[in-house]
A and B are shown apart, each in its own frame.
Chain A
């Protein structure tokens, strides 16, 4: 698999506080990579490092195969756009002026592409309105447009829906999906709004205390979070015989518990188990969401 970003044992220490503690991650090309973690887990620190705003204390990362210690890393960063924490825009300028400024920062020869960018982020009707008079969602979209100047292949978004109203959240989500699907831009998105992330991400990285706890693809996560019925019985061997006979997929959890996948007739199952001399003690639907998965992974007790 080709990766546009990898990190290896990345560490960042602020005085005595270790914000990143040996974080290793892999962002595949073309993915929407959701970086999940509670506040202070190290998500923003990681983004600051890969954006070149700060230097790692130890460890390394590669951007399109170029190591952070390599002189060429500055060129590799030209493939990347980022919105770190708040949108980086001049508040006393209009959307178009902000994009013109960024075009010059990049050394682009002309302003071709600015109308399309403004249209893409739905800011083409703003005229000379200054960014300080924009809503939070508009500023966020302008920040993304600035990050998209120079047509990057890799977009890093730090908490892009934080503080947005439902309408703003939907707009940002649609924009991210469009960028990924229509322009094949790889997107790294950090968030602790898990429900929102689950609508976007193709890959997940779960971060806690500055380290990667697990990296999974959305398909793997779906399998782990599959809907099932958790059954508690007196005899799981009898249960296995009955389920095998009925051709139902299942997994045994313990001597008395099993998860049953797919549609099943409860009456038929209960009758068949009764014939085998097996009592059903309890039965409930088990639907593990991304939130449950996250809580189980992090050991629960702490909020994302």
Chain B
């Protein structure tokens, strides 16, 4: 009897804390959503929690009339697609070669890659390199410097290592070459690992803003959504050059900030819950020693 009452206290404490954590995590998002859907002048009065008081689409209509935001949206979508595809192709190919016990370069390539996880040249030498390669003011700077990530390669490699090797051998007996084996046998079987890495790559691409700031900050045609949001958030309410349009008389900068935040966040929100079982597995694979 005593044990069960102790258990009840234990359960109450655990449930309360986890519920509190859930509320603290969700509330800010719901608050921002409510503010983005609420009439701008009404929001200034305060008191909005998770429901809008005067529902309106006005804030969204206004932000979608900003040309730089539309360009940013296009570039962000493009870099997410291109960056994810290129990153998946390169990481899976490298991972496959590293999983082949008969590949002579295996050990060297593993160590060569693993080193990059522990030591980095740093921001300034990389900046100079990008400049010397003529990649300033280019779309390439969004996808090329981050093409291969050692972590992603090792996650896919551990997954491929878990596949039965006999499959490859029988394909080989049928006369398939290594690329065909990779393309037709390994890739279709590696979908769970690839889904995880695709999610990591896509989220990384979608969320990047610093490469735009550093390399393409002055090029309006290559701006990204996150960079535009960063500019809006960092600007003080009065001195906001880019977003002080004629429409500003109708909505406050606060409402604009909230609406852009939602636009930037929603694509991720609709994707990640469905990939949950994959990335949980992927994170566990990545935790093995290299």
A binds B: no
Residues of B within 8 A of A (CB): none
